[in-house]
């Protein structure tokens, strides 16, 4: 890892500790507009390129990192996730439900809740048991998806479905929310929030500046 990369990683770590709530407030207020007027940002300079990359999610599986802080367990630190859900608007295309895949992991509580509703025998017939995970896996395309009405068990759907399209943060950006580029509504949100990166970079520059000052003071 180069010195610059390690500095950025360090800044992101500090960023999560110090700015997790305030940056969400700033983004909610549209502060990036003023910043962009002062200093254009790569996400805007290369807007067309960024849009094309995001659109590739329709064909190539990957995650998009959003300029919103990921949840952690400290109180008040889920502001980024909350803002994500305020902004996210599912297009109800059903792609996440009818697309073939390896299956949908059911937590024990998911299995019991859904079995209580549709019957254990029927649910088992729609799943396979994964010995390594010791869990039931719901077949994909999902048998509960009806093209006319959508999800037949929407109110009691598995936890994984309630979180989609959020994914665990990507390894190269562990402190930001990551979304599945396969979801068209997630791609739209990524496009709308591109300019927000400038707030992140502003914070990182400030943090690195502070660190440099502290180091210089110690060396004096
Ligand atoms: S793929 Fe995205 S937009 Fe389509 S139904 Fe699923 S969550 Fe909604
Ligand atoms: S349980 Fe419902 S929301 Fe989840 S994949 Fe199946 S149809 Fe979609």
Query: Quick one: pLDDT at residue 76?
Result: 53
Q: Which residue among 151, 160, 164 has the greatest number of ligand 2 atoms within 8 angstroms of its CB, and so is best to mutate?
A: 151
Q: Which residue has the higher pLDDT, 94 or 70?
A: 94
Which residue has its alpha carbon closest to ligand 2 atom 1? 157
Which residue has its alpha carbon closest to ligand 2 atom 8? 97
Q: How far apart are CA 177 and CA 179, in angstroms?
A: 7
Buried b (16+ CB within 10 A) or exposed e, 40-73: ebebeeeeeebeeebeebeeeeebbbbbbbbbee
Q: What is the DSSP string of 106-161?
A: --HHHHHHHHHHH-HHHHHHTEEEETTTTEEEE-SS-TTEETTTEETTGGG--HHH
Query: Quick one: pLDDT at residue 45?
Result: 83
Q: What is the atom index within ligand 2 of the atom nearest the CA of 94?
A: 8
Query: Quick one: pLDDT at residue 168?
Result: 83
- State how far the alpha carbon of 177 is from the alpha carbons of 64, 78, 106, 151, in Å: 8, 11, 23, 25
Report CA(144)–ligand 2 centroid distance (Å). 6
What is the reported pTM?
A: 0.87
Query: Quick one: pLDDT at residue 200?
Result: 87
Asked whether 71 lines ligand 1 (CB < 6 A), one says no
Query: Quick one: pLDDT at residue 21?
Result: 61
Q: Which tens digit of pLDDT belongs to each residue from 26-73?
A: 999 999 999 999 988 888 888 999 999 999 999 999 999 999 988 654
- Smallest Cα–Cα separation from 160: which of 94, 106, 199, 124? 106
Q: Are 97 and 146 in contact (CB under 8 A)?
A: no
State the Cα torsion 111-115-121-125 to the nearest 10°.
-50
Q: Which residue among 99, 153, 163 has the greatest number of ligand 2 atoms within 8 angstroms of its CB, and so is best to mutate?
A: 153
Q: Count CA atoms closer than 13 A to 28's CA, side-chain side.
A: 16
Listed by start position, the domains of the chain span 3-88+166-219, 95-163
Say yes or no to pLDDT of 172 above 80.
no
Q: Which tens digit of pLDDT belongs to each residue from 201-220?
A: 888 888 788 878 888 888 87
Say yes or no to pLDDT of 24 above 60.
yes
Say yes or no to pLDDT of 137 above 70.
yes
Q: Which residue among 94, 99, 157, 185 has the greatest number of ligand 2 atoms within 8 angstroms of its CB, and so is best to mutate?
A: 157
Q: What is the atom index within ligand 1 of the atom nearest the CA of 186?
A: 2
Say yes or no to pLDDT of 77 above 90.
no
Query: Quick one: pLDDT at residue 209?
Result: 83
Q: Which tens digit of pLDDT belongs to each residue from 174-192?
A: 778 999 999 999 999 999 9
Average pLDDT, the chain: 88
What percent of the chain stands above pLDDT 90? 60
Query: Quick one: pLDDT at residue 73?
Result: 47
What are the structure tokens assigned to 37, written together?
Answer: 């007027």
Report CA(97)–ligand 2 centroid distance (Å). 5
């Amino acid at each position: 890892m180069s010195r610059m990369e390690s500095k950025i990683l360090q800044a992101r770590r500090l960023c999560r500790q110090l700015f997790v709530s305030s940056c969400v407030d700033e983004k909610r207020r549209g502060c990036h507009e003023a910043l962009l007027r002062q200093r254009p940002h790569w996400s805007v300079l290369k807007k067309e390129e960024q849009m094309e990359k995001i659109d590739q999610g329709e064909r190539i599986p990957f995650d998009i990192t959003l300029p919103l802080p990921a949840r952690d367990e400290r109180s008040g630190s889920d502001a980024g996730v909350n803002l994500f859900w305020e902004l996210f608007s599912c297009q109800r295309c059903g792609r996440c439900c009818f697309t073939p895949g390896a299956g949908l992991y059911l937590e024990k509580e998911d299995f019991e809740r859904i079995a209580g509703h549709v019957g254990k025998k029927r649910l088992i017939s729609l799943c396979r048991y994964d010995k390594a995970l010791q869990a039931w896996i719901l077949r994909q395309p999902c048998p509960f998806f009806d093209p006319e009405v959508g999800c037949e068990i929407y109110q009691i759907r598995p936890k994984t479905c309630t979180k989609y399209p959020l994914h665990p943060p990507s390894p190269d950006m562990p402190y930001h929310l990551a979304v599945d580029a396969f979801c068209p509504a997630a791609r739209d949100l990524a496009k709308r929030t591109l300019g927000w990166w400038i707030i992140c970079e502003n914070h990182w520059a400030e943090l690195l500046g502070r660190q440099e000052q502290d180091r210089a003071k110690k060396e004096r």
